């Protein structure tokens, strides 16, 4: 790949508890070249979460400063907290020709679509709403009240699925993972991705 070829920007969304984090973790094995964007958030860290690895944990004031300094590509408020994608890391990764995945909620994804219409937008669905609730309760990281809010947001999020290019049901993590991998492979085979290379060959033949 020449350095003039940009990487692919992949956006993965889906309701809380559907398994986005679990699938992304599994993707690290099956798609080792994929780069992960680490978001900034004002949400408190969950047990085991590490600053700079899972999120950059910020105060509300620090987050507002990031917005003011134009350092986030997009940001959104989700169930009382701010979440945003650091801009520079995404741009540098794409410019270096590497693919990057953003695991972000729907409002943010729609903002990214405006600035990166060529991005690939994937929505992760639960096998059923009951299973979604089982997963979010089973994870044991949120209070009953937060779970209720997240379940009600989930319905609105699923309605926004029409804005995405692909929908994947996370029945089994391995299936979801290999489907995402197949999408990435297919996107690399898009003719507009290879057309510049072909033009170069043609010019050399002349």
Ligand X SMILES: Nc1ncnc2c1ncn2[C@@H]1O[C@H](COP(=O)(O)OP(=O)(O)O)[C@@H](O)[C@H]1O
Ligand Y SMILES: Nc1nc2c(ncn2[C@@H]2O[C@H](COP(=O)(O)OP(=O)(O)O)[C@@H](O)[C@H]2O)c(=O)[nH]1
105: nearest Cα among 15, 8, 10: 15
Distance CA 25, CA 183 (A): 17
Q: Which range touches ligand X (CB under 6 A), out of 30-38, 72-80, 111-119, 170-178? A: 170-178
Q: Which does 138 bind (CB under 5 to 8 A by kind): ligand X, ligand Y, none?
A: ligand X
Helix (H/G/I), strand (E/B), else coil: 41? strand
Distance CA 118, CA 95 (A): 14
- Cβ neighbors of 71 (< 8 A, separation 6 or more) are 86, 87, 88
Binder of ligand Y out of 63, 78, 116, 166 (CB under 6 A): 78
Q: Counting beta carbons within 10 angstroms of the beta carbon of residue 111, is it exposed (0 to 12), middle (13 to 18) or buried (19 or more)?
A: middle
103 binds ligand Y (CB under 6 A): yes
Q: Which does 170 bind (CB under 5 to 8 A by kind): ligand Y, ligand X, none?
A: ligand X
Binding marks (x or -) toward ligand X, 98..137, rule CB under 6 A?
-------------------------------------x--
Q: Which range touches ligand Y (CB under 6 A), out of 59-67, 70-78, 167-175, 188-196? A: 70-78
108 assigned ligand-binding residue: no
Sheet holding 166-169, edge to edge: 35-36, 100-103, 9-13, 120-125, 166-169
Closest residue to ligand X, judged by C-beta, is 19
Distance CA 104, CA 20 (A): 9
To ligand X, the closest distance from the beta carbon of 115 in angstroms equals 24
Using CB under 6 A as the criterion, which residues of the chain lie in contact with ligand Y when the complex forms? 16-17, 20-21, 39, 43, 74, 76, 78, 83-85, 103-105, 108
Site residues, ligand X (CB under 6 A): 14, 16-22, 135, 138-139, 170, 172-173
């Amino acid at each position: 790949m020449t350095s003039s070829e940009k990487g692919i920007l992949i956006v993965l969304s889906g309701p809380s508890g559907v398994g986005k984090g679990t699938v992304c973790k599994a993707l690290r094995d099956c798609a080792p070249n994929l780069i992960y964007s680490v978001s900034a958030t004002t949400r408190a860290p969950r047990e085991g979460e590490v600053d700079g690895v899972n999120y950059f944990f910020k105060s509300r004031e620090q987050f507002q400063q990031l917005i003011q300094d134009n350092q986030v590509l997009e940001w959104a408020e989700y169930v009382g907290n701010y979440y945003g994608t650091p801009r520079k890391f995404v741009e540098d990764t794409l410019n270096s020709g590497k693919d990057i995945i953003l695991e972000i909620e729907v409002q943010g994804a729609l903002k990214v679509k405006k600035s990166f219409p060529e991005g690939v937008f994937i929505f992760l669905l639960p096998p059923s709403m009951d299973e979604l609730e089982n997963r979010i309760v089973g994870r044991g990281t949120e209070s009953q009240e937060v779970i209720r809010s997240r379940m009600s947001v989930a319905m609105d999020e699923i309605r926004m699925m029409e804005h995405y290019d692909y929908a994947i049901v996370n029945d089994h993590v391995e299936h979801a993972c290999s489907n995402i991998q197949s999408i990435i492979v297919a996107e690399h085979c898009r003719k507009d991705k290879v057309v510049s290379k072909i033009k170069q060959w043609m010019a050399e033949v002349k």
